[in-house]
Amino acid sequence: SKAAGERAAAIMSLIATARQNGYEPYAYLKDVLTRLPTHPDRRIAELLPHRWR
């Protein structure tokens, strides 16, 4: 479906951006998905690959 394609594209984009920033994609996604449920919405930009720590 179109929605599934859009979700897949977003995830692939995150993976590619993590690689470009020198991060191992699995470690990045594992950390972000673990932190996401308790992370404040107003600080969501901190979890993007180019700002992730």
Q: Annotate 1-18 with b (16+ C-beta within 10 A) or e (fewer).
A: eeeeeeeeeeeeebbebb
Q: How far apart are CA 8 and CA 34, in angstroms?
A: 19
pTM of the predicted model, to two decimals?
0.77
Q: Which residue has the tokens 């929605």?
A: 3
Q: How far apart are CA 52 and CA 13, in angstroms?
A: 15
CB 23, CB 52: distance < 8 Å: yes
Which tens digits make up the pLDDT trace of 22-32?
999 999 999 99
- Residue spans of the domains in the chain: they are 2-51
Which tens digits make up the pLDDT trace of 1-53?
999 999 999 999 999 999 999 999 999 999 999 999 999 999 999 998 888 88
